[in-house]
Chains A and B, each alone.
Chain A
Amino acid sequence: MIEDELEAAQVSLASMRERINRLVIGQQEVVDQVLIALLSNAHVLVEGVPGLGKTLLVRVLASCFGGSFKRIQFTPDLMPADITGHAMYDMREGKFNIRKGPVFTHILLADEINRAPAKTQAALLEVMQERQTTIEGKPFAMPEPYMVMATQNPIEQEGTYPLPEAELDRFLMKVFIGYPSMDDEIALTRAVSQHRSDDLLANEEKHALISEAQITALQKQAAAVEVDEQVVNYAVRLVRHTRENTAIINGAGPRASIGLVRAARANALLRGDNFVLPDDVKAMALPVLRHRIILSADMEIDGQTPDSVLNMMLDTVDAPRL
């Protein structure tokens, strides 16, 4: 990757970060992680209580590159066809017309994905994995770039259908979105209260900063970030360690190793470098691995969380040796 390309990428990413952080106040880490997911051409699962700006984040992210944005509120009666689309008979023309569902967009917000039954979740996850869906036997590709941001509410678990581990694995990262700090909340309150509604805040700056093609180019740049063998080795050792750790009954699979290196590459690009450091791998370890492991019963009884166990693991796994 030549220096000019890196600089151009830096400029584009910096402008996107600046706009999103200006509108989505107090969620810098979440914004970075969502951008990393976008650069990695992957999907992200966001967990957080309602009202923290998830919709706004997705809307602003889509506006950054002039992409389309759609939101699906998952409910227990939501059917697969409701999200993928279906064929409808046109009486005048005497033929079936394909009516595409809300998945056909650049950025899709799947709100409270765990409220829909497994078959609807599976339909979405198929779209995420294959980046295409089949309606009436005809495949339809998703637009590029394409990203699904699914959300889960950690509090209301009653009447939900938790995502199976195999399906969780499809998400590159699981991001925790928390409450903003005092100062950020003051700034947020001031900014939003000046508008008649929250949505107007997102409409404030609708012009695209970069094109869809540039996003695709950034994704290619991220995939081309140099990774030393030792760093790959480190990422794989970390993932394999989750399978050997007695605190974890179900460790992460090879998809986690792939995801970890991809996310580390995107993180390096976002950081402004064209090579991956072990620190990039470490920084991505928690969001990439936390939803792919299942803790043992005694760890859960001890009040340990996947993050605390992974942090302990990061301290014990040797850093790369040159």
Chain B
Amino acid sequence: MDLSRISVEAKLRGPWEAIDLGFVMARRWWRPLFLAWLLPPLTLFLLLSTVFYQYPLVAYLLVWWLKPLWDRLPLYIGSRALFSESVTTKEVIRAIPGLFKKDLLAWLSWRRFCLTRSFDMPVTVLENLSGDQRSRRMSILHRKSANAATWLTLACLHLEAVLTFGSMAFVYALIPEQVEIDYFGIFLDAENSDITIQLVSNTFSFMAISLVAPFYTMAGFALYINRRIELEGWDIEIRFRHLAQRTRGQRQMGIKNLLIPVVFISMCFLTTADSVADENNDEVLSQKQSKEFIQEVLSGEDFHKIVVKKGWRLKSRDKETDETLPEWVIQVVEFIERFSDEWHSFNKLVRGGAKGLEFILWITVISLFIYTLYYYREGLRKLLASTQSDTQKVKQAPAELFGLDVRRESLPQQIPEQVMSLWHQGEPRKALNLLYRATLSRLINEHKYHFHDGNTEQECADIIAASAAAELTSFVNEITRLWQAVAYGHRAIPQQQLELLCQRWPEVFFHAK
């Protein structure tokens, strides 16, 4: 890796800028990247589609699952192109076995759903790290940019879905209405849908992922490169290499003094010196010189000043514990303390939350119950009314009907006598009123008839006629007719008719008992 040949400007970028750079890189080297990504999975896809013709989903699922492998070739080509190295097809083909087998199991199993795949992949493919080394490296890289890498994966995932459904919708829009296709079966009833249509939909999905994949890989790679520029100070190194080139051959002390801090800083950043740069003779020379200068500086007065300070001051507790207990014990104790505190507060929170949730649920259940009762109030009222016993009906017997007081207590003991007495007193309407009222009272309280407020006199008579004995029906019809004529027709009451009704009254209600 020759940093001087890097084809992008090595400078510190934000993670989103780095992703943009990745997309630009993918666009610039689009053809080799796209072909490198497409050809291996396409071969497999076609092969599997042919072999498992009856199960089209197998081909797509397998190709999709192996995406971490397919990402490696574009990454390999991209990493070479970044440092202006051209790669031939032969070289790529030759590199395939080596690239594919690196950490194969991990990437196809527990790391398959890793959300930072494109960002992590260069560590495997380019740095060739695995195990603890990889973990340490990842922990350094992930301190920054992991968030952006995750969002990159999610965004690309959605982009794939949009492209898949968009292309399908486009084709659907071009299909004439007359062509009948069971779209429900295609998307929701995969088992029974047409295989050809499934193959077509798989092809659309495959095209979508192959279009997005080079961009995704390059964006992740750019993020990785950006992180390394930040960690290893590539930009600084490149600038000072340029300076070094300009001043090559010059041995003046001024230059030396300038190079001392520069090289010192570079050394600090170079955490993975082996993988950072190729070594050439010029660089070895400058490093040797640098070391000499560093030694000179370290042996100078500034690094050998001894200052003795005396006086009273408070003892540091940390220092005391440091003396008595090893650091790791303190850390463990602190962790346990912190953990137990957090556990208590968490437990409290959960308990409090659960209580609140329980309360809300109870309120919801009660509200639903009240709402159900309210919603079906009419039906329930009717149901209750229909299931009421006769006794209950008697309890609810109206005290008044047609404006007449029909309570038993409101009536005299001897009805016919009292009626005729009123008649003789010159109160014919009152007399008939009493007789009709008494009849209704008996019908309600003793014969257990139930009349609604909305029933007219004639409807009451019809209710009696529907179930009562002929004698009672005839009596009720006659008195109702007479009452209607008096009440609504303002007719005179024939004395003979009233006397006859008074005579029949005890008979009718006596027999009825």
In the assembled complex, the CB of A163 is this many whole angstroms from the nearest CB of chain B, namely 31
Contact status B454-A226, CB under 8 Å: no
Query: A138 within 8 Å of B by Cβ?
Result: no
Closest A residue, CB atoms, query B454 = A315
Query: B456 within 8 Å of A by Cβ?
Result: yes
In the complex, identify which listed stretch (B175-183, B487-495, B497-505) lies at the interface while the others stay far away: B487-495
Query: A173 within 8 Å of B by Cβ?
Result: no
In the assembled complex, the CB of B440 is this many whole angstroms from the nearest CB of chain A, namely 12
User: Which residues of chain B from 204 to 218 have a CB within 8 Å of any chain A CB?
Assistant: none
CA distance A318 to B485 in the complex (A): 20
Binary per-residue interface labels of chain A (267-280) against chain B in the complex, 1 for a CB within 8 Å, 0 otherwise? 00000011111110
Contact of B454 among A277, A316, A321 (CB under 8 A): A316
User: Which residues of chain A from 186 to 233 have a CB within 8 Å of any chain B CB?
Assistant: 226, 228, 230-231
User: Which residues of chain B from 447 to 475 have a CB within 8 Å of any chain A CB?
Assistant: 452-459
CA distance A63 to B452 in the complex (A): 44
Q: How many A-B residue pairs have CB under 8 A?
A: 56
In the assembled complex, the CB of A87 is this many whole angstroms from the nearest CB of chain B, namely 52
Closest A residue, CB atoms, query B433 = A322
Residues of A within 8 A of B453 (CB): 316, 318-319
Known contacts A277-B458, A277-B484, A322-B404; A315/B490 CB under 8 A: no
Contact status B403-A321, CB under 8 Å: yes
Query: B402 within 8 Å of A by Cβ?
Result: yes
Query: A79 within 8 Å of B by Cβ?
Result: no
Residues of B within 8 A of A279 (CB): 456, 458-459
Residues of A within 8 A of B457 (CB): 277-278, 319
Contact status A277-B456, CB under 8 Å: yes
Known contacts A275-B489, A276-B488, A277-B484; A317/B404 CB under 8 A: no
Residues of A within 8 A of B459 (CB): 279, 319
Contact of A315 among B404, B452, B458 (CB under 8 A): B452
Closest B residue, CB atoms, query A225 = B489
Which among A231, A315, A319, A321 has the greatest number of chain B C-beta atoms within 10 A? A319
Contact of A274 among B402, B452, B489 (CB under 8 A): B489
In the assembled complex, the CB of A33 is this many whole angstroms from the nearest CB of chain B, namely 19
Which among B403, B404, B490 has the greatest number of chain A C-beta atoms within 10 A? B403
Query: A243 within 8 Å of B by Cβ?
Result: no
Known contacts A277-B458, A317-B454; A231/B402 CB under 8 A: no
Listed by A's residue number, 5 A-B pairs whose Cβ atoms lie within 8 Å are A226-B488, A275-B491, A277-B456, A277-B488, A319-B457
Binding site for B on A (CB under 8 A): 226, 228, 230-231, 273-279, 282, 314-322
Knowing that A226-B490, A320-B403 touch, tell me 10 more A-B residue pairs with CB under 8 angstroms. Answer: A228-B488, A228-B489, A273-B489, A277-B456, A282-B456, A315-B454, A319-B454, A319-B457, A321-B402, A322-B403
